[in-house]
Amino acid sequence: MSLILNLNREHKEELKEELKEHKKELLNLTESKNESFLSLKNEFNEAKNLAETRAQHLLQTEHIVNIRGALKFVCAQILKKDKSIVFTEPVDKALMRLFQDEDFKESV
């Protein structure tokens, strides 16, 4: 009878140890899941912020003054007042210089 009781106690102890190990594994899995979730959440937030920033930038670029049109208008107004003025440089070259200017690009 005592042999059966000892075996029963040993079996209970083994089961308790296994239960503890399973609880530790479950805790580790839960922590891993939480870390993965936080990582994905951070990536999502970064992507969302990037998308919002790009959308704002696109909206800003749509509201920028039409430089080509403005220069053509100025030229037309000058020519309207004084027909003897001859422009030695085409508007497109001026625009090309503007777009090559790094300060201008940053301000836009």
Q: Is 66 helix (H, G, I), strand (E, B) or coil?
A: coil
Gap between the Cα atoms of 37 and 104, Å rounded: 43
> 99, 96, 91, 87: which is closest to 72 by C-alpha?
91
Q: What is the pLDDT of residue 44?
A: 93
Q: What is the pLDDT of residue 42?
A: 93
Alpha helix (H) residue ranges in 63-90: 67-81
Considering the entire predicted model, what is its pTM?
0.41
pLDDT one-digit tens code per residue, 42-65: 999 999 999 999 888 887 776 666
Phi and psi dihedrals of 100, rounded to 5? Answer: -85, -15
Q: What is the pLDDT of residue 65?
A: 63
Instruction: Give the end-to-end CA distance of the chain in Å, rounded to a whole number.
Output: 91
